[in-house]
Structure formats: structure tokens, C-alpha cells
Amino acid sequence: MATKLKKGDEVIVITGDDKGSKGKILQVLREKNRVLVESINMSKKHERKTQDNPQGAIVEREASIHYSNVKKV
């Protein structure tokens, strides 16, 4: 990685649908050159019915974003 991004850094998205949004880095995926940013690039995940969750659910989670699309604030 060219930039030194780490967990907890405040970043701003510079390209894509969430352009201009700010958030904290939750996780850095160094092998894939991607980062997980708090409440950025949300995707819906369907969860299977279980005994704990008898109706199932659709959960929104953060998806990773390429590190070149974020800038440290």
C-alpha cells in the first residue's frame, strides 16, 4: 500500500456513489488493498432462518472499498 492507512483513521471517500462521505476505518484488508469504512458502501445480506432468528432477516453491512478511493482527513 502506498498510503499508510490504519484502523481508526478518519477518511473521506473521493470517488464512487459515496463521494464526499466521511467515516472511520473499521478494518484494513492488506492482501486485497481494501478497507472497511464505517457506514460507507452498505450492502444487504440475507440471513437464513435459525432457531435464534426464526423469521430470517435482511441485514445491512459495510462492504470493502479500494484504498485508492479514500483519503485521510
Residue-wise pLDDT tens digits, 19-33: 999 999 999 999 999
CA 39 to chain centre: 7
Q: Sign of the C-alpha dihedral, residues 17, 19, 23, 26?
A: positive
Q: Which amino acid, residue 16?
A: G
Nearest to 29 by CA among 61, 2, 64, 63: 64
Q: Where are the domains of the chain?
A: 10-72
pTM for the structure as a whole: 0.82
Please state which architecture CATH assigns to domain 10-72. Answer: Roll (2.30)
Distance, CA of 29 to CA of 64 (rounded, Å): 8
Cell of 70: 479514500
Confidence at residue 8, expressed as pLDDT on a 0 to 100 scale: 95
